[in-house]
Amino acid sequence: MNETRQLEDSEVLQLIASCKGKWRIRNQALLLLLIYSGGRISEVVTLRRKDLLDADGKLKGILNFIKLKSFKRKKKGKMINKKKGNKTRAVIIPEPKVVKLLEKYLHSRVLRAFKSPDAFIFPGRKIAGKERKHISRISVWFIIRRLSKLNNITGAVSPHSFRKCFGQMCFKYAISERLKGREINEWEYTREALGHSDIKATMCYLKFMKFDVAKDMPKIFGEFSKKLNEII
């Protein structure tokens, strides 16, 4: 299986813009939460109304994303447990239009039967005789793959592609801030943003980033060159 590729921010915008039909607002809300939170798919699909809305029905200023404590995965015919910890990561949605769209979705007819604070914001299909659960990860994968095909976006695109894009955006921002003189470590900054406990995991997320070092040389040597010009 090919490793999940990272989406460019322009590709993320294409996917969001191409959401159409009955599930347009739900799918846009889903993709926006994936990119603005940098959340794992397991974190996003298990969000409940109480996680996002305050008592007045407005989107909370700070959203808490919680890792699942553990999950089971089938490997070579055997079920194995993988520990993921139980850390909480604070997420802020900075764009007013995104906040407005999320609030519109949470109060839309699509969710008219899911008003309980404990109701999942992305409910799955009702199965007779069973409690309704959240949308499955594989369903989200199919949504993203369909949208990718519509936009001729190739490669192994998945929900995790949004998390990788988020990581790259944080990394680039941290670098730009450091170049402005801010004391910041771009690796630690991105690790914190992604909620990683080990910097090695963060490095794996960014290994496909393309750096145009030649183009950046004037910026890299900016201050040095200024001082050099004073003595030569």
Distance from C-alpha of 59 to C-alpha of 106, rounded to nearest angstrom: 9
Domain edge (last residue) among 159, 180, 208: 159
pLDDT average, residue stretch 186-198:
89
Percentage of the chain lying above the pLDDT 70 cut: 81
Residues ≥6 apart with Cβ < 8 Å to 60 = 51, 52, 53, 54
**DSSP H or E segment with residue 72:** strand 70-75
Domain edge (last residue) among 110, 127, 159: 159
Claim to verify: residue 140 and residue 169 sit in the same structural domain: no
Distance from C-alpha of 4 to C-alpha of 171, rounded to nearest angstrom: 19
CB 75 within 8 A of CB 81: no
Residues 90-126 have pLDDT tens digits of 788 888 889 999 999 999 888 888 888 899 999 988 7
In this predicted structure, what is the pLDDT of residue 47?
Answer: 92
Residues 137-171 have pLDDT tens digits of 999 999 999 999 999 999 999 999 999 999 989 99
In this predicted structure, what is the pLDDT of residue 83?
Answer: 44
Residues in the chain: 232
In this predicted structure, what is the pLDDT of residue 195?
Answer: 86
Distance from C-alpha of 216 to C-alpha of 229, rounded to nearest angstrom: 19
pLDDT band at 73 (very low <50, low <70, confident <90, very high): low
Give 82's strand partners: 71
Give 74's strand partners: 79
In this predicted structure, what is the pLDDT of residue 70?
Answer: 41
In this predicted structure, what is the pLDDT of residue 86?
Answer: 57
Residues 29-54 have pLDDT tens digits of 999 999 999 989 999 999 999 999 98
Domain edge (last residue) among 159, 176, 205: 159
Asked, for residue 223, whether it belongs to a domain, the answer is yes
Asked, for residue 93, whether it belongs to a domain, the answer is yes
Domain, as residue range, for 184:
161-229
Residues 211-230 have pLDDT tens digits of 565 666 677 677 777 876 77
**Chain centroid to CA 174: how far?**
17
Going by the DSSP 8-state scheme, the letter that residue 153 receives in this structure is: -
Domain count of the fold of the chain: 2
Asked, for residue 175, whether it belongs to a domain, the answer is yes
Residues 9-32 have pLDDT tens digits of 889 999 999 999 999 999 999 999
Residues ≥6 apart with Cβ < 8 Å to 202 = 167, 187, 190, 191, 194, 196
Nearest to 148 by CA among 135, 160, 158, 138: 158
